[in-house]
Chains A and B, each alone.
Chain A
Amino acid sequence: MERSEIRRAVEDVFCALMKERGTPLAAVDLERSLYDSGYSLDSMDTATLSAMLGQRFEHDPYTSGAFPQNIAEIVAYYAERGITE
């Protein structure tokens, strides 16, 4: 999968999460922090994001021991390890 496709797929998962929590997004800012003053994901949201990424891509950065700070880092994680199509 091309990096641009990975990015779109990760953005889709993230948009689904944000819609689910009642804060739908018009656009995703790749560099914006996922937590705190950025998208304000708390532990429950982050746990959900981990689960959704795992369901969509069969593995996810959190379970692998990483703690991505923004969407760009999640895209980079999958670009590096690859995604089963």
Chain B
Amino acid sequence: MMVEWIQRHAVKKPDELFLVDDTVSLSFRETEQRARQMAATLGRDAGITPGSVVYLHAQDSAQLVVALLATQYVGARVCVLNRNFDVEVLHRLASRLHRGILVTDAQSVSGWPERVLSLAEVAVAAQVPRATFDEAGGGIIILTSATTGVPKAVFYNWERLLAQVRLAASPQGRGWALLYPLNHFAGLQVLLHAAKNGLSLAIPRTRQFSDVLECLIRCQVDSVSATPTFWRMFTGQLDPAGASQLTLRQITLGGEPVTADVLSRLRELFPEARVTQVYATTEIGSCFAVSDGQPGFPAEFLEGPVGSVRLKIHEGQLYVRTPSGMVGYVDGSPAPEREGDWIATGDLVEVRGRRVHFLGRKGEVVNVGGVKVYPPTVEEQIRKVRGVRDVRVYGKANPITGQIVAADLELCEGVAPDVVLAEVRQACRSTLNRYEQPRELHVVAELGRSNEKLMRR
């Protein structure tokens, strides 16, 4: 469990900093003490018992990490929710997931079916901190990206999750920055890596450029993991003077296909840093990492084990066999497509020479900055607009987010295109997530069809 690693470091190097955000700095000992205090409150006052579920709904912060640790002391299953989820999404989730207490930093959350506790209140120091942790029934529920409006709930026990985190023989460097949200698999991986290896974790106030830069400089961060979209935005705003204030030794990219442009820009700005691409999914976990500075991965990976993982290509799709993926879905979602022990990743790949390149997602899923968008979801909303006869939604290459959503529309006869397009934009704004909204709309005379089905690109 993660708390065991924190306890070890709290004994070996009690005063070394573990968590740093814009309001507080906590050593390993302070983190461990605060987690035990919060655990006492959760266990005794809130009645949380081993195996019960606790939902954490708070901005990424040192306090949120402490709460995550506290749930391990009481043996609860914990789920970190996207803090941007509004009440409606929370209600939809609550109806599909196990019932559990919600711990939030929001002013109020109405309609949650169980008790709602304030994070600030449970963080108040208990008189008698909890001394031991309870492993039975504990674990973490991770919600995947909401592709059809409702995310899938993936369950891991801590052992499986920690098994994917490499323990360095002698951890180098000062520490990591948390640039993925903690409700994402990748954010948890960064946290666990820091916790297991006894490194510090700096949490910026926001993921805006100036806040991230300030955090990296103030905390002397030397290891950063983020999506290619983040790196494109960050390096685009970073001038050589800003770059010279950073001493990055490890740069990691993941979550979406890595392109040559971003690798080249990172090499140019940070020639001393090791640049690593990580391939992972929430369900399968971390599969492999590549640090040779080229997009894709070596074809030799298909020939033998990569760590404990095996890879193969079947009908153009990448399949993975791993001993340490998720335990399973806990919301009734159907199991991932399999072929024997092999799990389909949904990523379409192609071997060119001695390199395997990612082509995109099976089923034409659009990847906008690492977030998946299913065209049918968008098409459904656009088709509701009066004057639209039919629509085809697809991904279009974009230098910032990898892809954006675009749509070709076939309009009814006699309508004014400008009026219909304005209504389509309005409908998309009010019904779709921001990353799902088409950034390009094209009126076409006729959409290609085959057997009464829209032809996809």
Contact = CB atoms under 8 A, between A and B. Distances in A.
Interface stretch (A2-10, A23-31, A34-42, A74-82): A34-42
Nearest to A34: B237
B404 interface: yes
Nearest to B239: A69
B230 A51 contact: no
Interface string B198-212: 000000000011100
B232 interface: yes
Contacts of B404: 47-48, 51
A43 B209 contact: no
Nearest to A64: B399
B440 interface: yes
Interface residues of B, number: 25
A46 B236 CA distance: 11
Given A36-B208, A43-B230, A55 B440 contact: yes
Contacts of A40: 208
Contacts, number: 57
Contacts of B230: 43
Nearest to B209: A36
B398 A47 contact: yes
Contacts of A51: 396, 398, 404, 406, 439-440
B261 interface: yes
A37 B210 contact: yes
B434 interface: yes
B261 A65 contact: yes
Given A35-B237, A67-B237, A44 B209 contact: no
B233 interface: yes
A65 B235 CA distance: 12
Contact of A46 (B261, B400, B435): B400
Most buried by B among A43, A46, A55, A65: A43
Interface in A61-77: 62-63, 65, 67, 69
A85 interface: no
A47 B237 contact: no
Contacts of B232: 43
B83 interface: no
Interface string B251-292: 000000000010000000000000000000000000000000
Contact of A36 (B210, B401, B425): B210
A20 B438 CA distance: 12
Contacts of A65: 261, 399
B237 A62 contact: no
Interface string B423-441: 0010000000011000110
Contacts of B235: 67
Interface string B388-415: 0000000010111100101000000000
Nearest to B227: A43
Given A36-B210, A44-B435, A51-B440, A69 B237 contact: yes
Contacts of A62: 399-400
A48 B237 contact: no
Contact of A47 (B208, B209, B401): B401
Nearest to A63: B399
A36 B237 CA distance: 9
Contacts of A63: 399
Nearest to A37: B210
Interface of A: 20, 35-37, 40, 42-44, 46-48, 50-52, 55, 62-63, 65, 67, 69
Given A43-B232, A46-B400, A47-B404, 5 more contacts: A35-B209, A43-B401, A44-B435, A47-B368, A47-B400
29 contacts: A20-B425, A36-B237, A37-B210, A43-B229, A43-B230, A43-B232, A43-B233, A43-B400, A44-B368, A44-B369, A46-B233, A46-B236, A46-B400, A47-B398, A47-B399, A47-B401, A48-B404, A48-B439, A50-B398, A50-B399, A51-B404, A51-B439, A51-B440, A62-B399, A65-B261, A65-B399, A67-B236, A67-B237, A69-B237
Interface of B: 208-210, 229-230, 232-233, 235-237, 261, 368-369, 396, 398-401, 404, 406, 425, 434-435, 439-440
